[in-house]
Amino acid sequence: MPLTGAAVGALSDHLARQMREIGDEYEDKGLVFASQTGNTMSASNVVNRHFKPLLKRAKLPRIRPHDPRHTCATLLLIKGVHPKYVQELLGHANISITLDTYSHVIPGMGNQTVAAMEEIFA
């Protein structure tokens, strides 16, 4: 998955910090976010120890961990990113899932349809 420069920088910083803090105890298993030993993190620990405190520090409302995914998809579609790319980013099995879920936010979709019909039949 292509990442923004800011995301690559943040992940690099995270890895460097992780290596400094944990050192030799860390067993690299190729995970982006791992426990202090390099193993898979418990979902409940991630939510309770990291996600919820992060929301509180940022003075954001309580949301589910899955909500930012929907926000990301919605913002990308509003900005005109092709739904096929959003589908791939989200990992949907096919584009119909993405379109069924998010087509209401694609800007001007109805207007584009009318304009295309007028152009075809003009």
Q: What are the boundaries of each domain within the chain?
A: 1-62, 66-122
* pLDDT at 109 (0 to 100): 63
**Residues 24-60: tens digit of each pLDDT:** 777 878 887 888 788 899 999 999 999 999 999 999 9
**Residues 50-92: tens digit of each pLDDT:** 999 999 999 999 999 999 999 999 999 988 899 999 999 999 9
Question: What does the pLDDT average to over 18-29?
Answer: 79
The DSSP line for the chain is ----HHHHHHHHHHHHHHHHHHGGG----S-SS--TTSSPPPHHHIIIIIIHHHHHHTTPPP--TTHHHHHHHHHHHHTT--HHHHHHHHT-SSHHHHHHHHGGGSTTHHHHHHHHHHHHH-
Confidence of residue 20 (pLDDT cuts 50, 70, 90): confident
